[in-house]
Amino acid sequence: MNRATPPVEFAAPSSDSLDQRLAATRALTLKLAEPLSDADAAIQPFPDASPAKWHLAHTSWFFETFVLRDHVPGYRPHDERFAFLFNSYYEGEGERHARTRRGMISRPSLDEVRAYRAAVDDALMRAFPDLAPDALALVEIGINHEQQHQELFLTDILATFAENPLEPAYGELPAVDCRAVEPLTFHPGRSGIVDIGATGPAFAFDSEFPRHQTLLAPHSLANRRVTNREWAEFIAGGGYGTATLWLSEGWDWVRREGISAPLYWRDSQTVFTLGGRRPIDWAAPVAHISYFEADAYARWAGARLPTEPEWEDFAASADPLIGNQLDAAGAVTPRPGGGMFGDTWEWTQSAFASYPGFKPAEGAVGEYNGKFMCGQFVLKGASCATPRGHSRASYRNFFPPSARWQFTGVRLARDA
């Protein structure tokens, strides 16, 4: 049996465009890297982030390992050493370079990594007509995996440039304009027994299965996300200094780390973005906040965070293709307005845990989600850095409660 044979949940949809989508995804990643120097691409700003060069190579290693090595007879790796350098967390694939030291990899150079990508792409396209269904299913996983890394690429570059006292810009952003904010209102969600989880046959990750029933108590969700202006009011109202608003672990985190505003707020008027330092857009959704901060704000506002089932059921009829999401290479930032998808991921109060009957995929790809179901909270929706078409109502993003270098925000909920 091939080491990476997936179960039925991972079956790729029947589509003649799979090779075109693969090529487009691979091309976008290269476009995202165009503004970077070799030095830019080698920096690891903190242990949970990765160098841009590593993202470029790791996504190629994924295709080389799980598709080419396991499903193309006679394939020989581009460089045997890369398996150690660019494996992420797959224990089934053996020893690997420590995650915390990815920024120490000065070589291979950025150009050598681009050559590696080109070699893997060429081998994939030559093999594509003869790939079996289980290999095509892994190509589909690889496309979605690379889309996740495209978002991480942008957020990690933002973190990298934020460390530079020169405050360099990755790209240009439109000027901030003054906009009126829609009044905050709450809309009732459904109550009773509802179904959540992926439905198929379109692609979904294993953690979205199986679809199952859950019970919703009467509740309502806000019509929009919390804005920067509203967050400034939370700061002015002493939100970061009021212990009773915070979970115990969150209060310890606030005091230990000296947290007093969202990540990248430079002062009360400016924020660091992929376009460099700029005025805070007060009408835009607040971004780069942790679960701890989102939970404290909700309590301060007399509300709470939605549960994952509440959010998913509320968004079931929303179009995940609409909203401020990543369409092409370039700088991105949250913007005023928007619906359930785009701008920022939205924290829920739900822990990232398995659904009833969950079964991880066989082989190394089974390590993709299941082993992280501890100490993480679910985020729903999409962000301005999420490739359009990647997300859906059942999608389950997840991060630990202190994480905030991603485009993370908050939508309030209330008990009815």
201 — pLDDT class (breaks 50, 70, 90): confident
Distance CA 52, CA 38 (A): 9
Question: What's the confidence (pLDDT) of residue 14?
Answer: 37
91 — pLDDT class (breaks 50, 70, 90): confident
Q: Are 239 and 295 in contact (CB under 8 A)?
A: no
Q: Are strands 408-409 and 345-351 parallel, antiparallel or unpaired?
A: parallel
Q: Are 184 and 223 in contact (CB under 8 A)?
A: yes
Short-list 27, 13, 5, 28, CA closest to 332: 28
Phi, psi dihedral angles at 76 (to 5 degrees): -120, 130
Residue 234 belongs to what H/E stretch?
helix 228-236
Q: Are strands 276-279 and 270-273 parallel, antiparallel or unpaired?
A: antiparallel
Distance CA 210, CA 287 (A): 31
Distance CA 258, CA 297 (A): 17
Provide mean pLDDT across the span 88-113. 94
Question: What's the confidence (pLDDT) of residue 1?
Answer: 26
Q: To the nearest whole number, what is the mean pLDDT of the chain?
A: 94
Is the pLDDT reported for residue 95 higher than 70? Answer: yes
Provide mean pLDDT across the span 175-180. 84
Taken in order 259, 148, 351, 339, the sign of the CA dihedral is positive
10 — pLDDT class (breaks 50, 70, 90): very low
Distance CA 43, CA 102 (A): 8
Is the pLDDT reported for residue 6 higher than 80? Answer: no
Is the pLDDT reported for residue 7 higher than 50? Answer: no
With 0.85 as the threshold, say if the pTM is over it: yes
Provide mean pLDDT across the span 169-178. 91
Q: Are 139 and 67 in contact (CB under 8 A)?
A: yes
Taken in order 258, 261, 262, 268, the sign of the CA dihedral is negative
Distance CA 355, CA 93 (A): 26
pLDDT in tens, 147-161: 999 999 999 999 999
Question: What's the confidence (pLDDT) of residue 365?
Answer: 76
Q: How far is CA 268 from CA 54, 147, 226, 278, 379, in A?
A: 34, 34, 17, 12, 27
Q: Are 151 and 19 in contact (CB under 8 A)?
A: no
Spatial CB neighbours of 248, under 8 Å, sequence gap ≥ 6: none
Provide mean pLDDT across the span 169-192. 93
| 377-381, strands of its sheet edge to edge | 397-399, 377-381, 345-351, 408-409
Is the pLDDT reported for residue 11 higher than 50? Answer: no
Residue 213 belongs to what H/E stretch?
strand 212-216
Cα angle value 336/45/348 (rounded, 5°): 45
Domains of the chain: 8-162 (1.20.120), 186-415 (3.90.1580.10)
Phi, psi dihedral angles at 9 (to 5 degrees): -60, -30
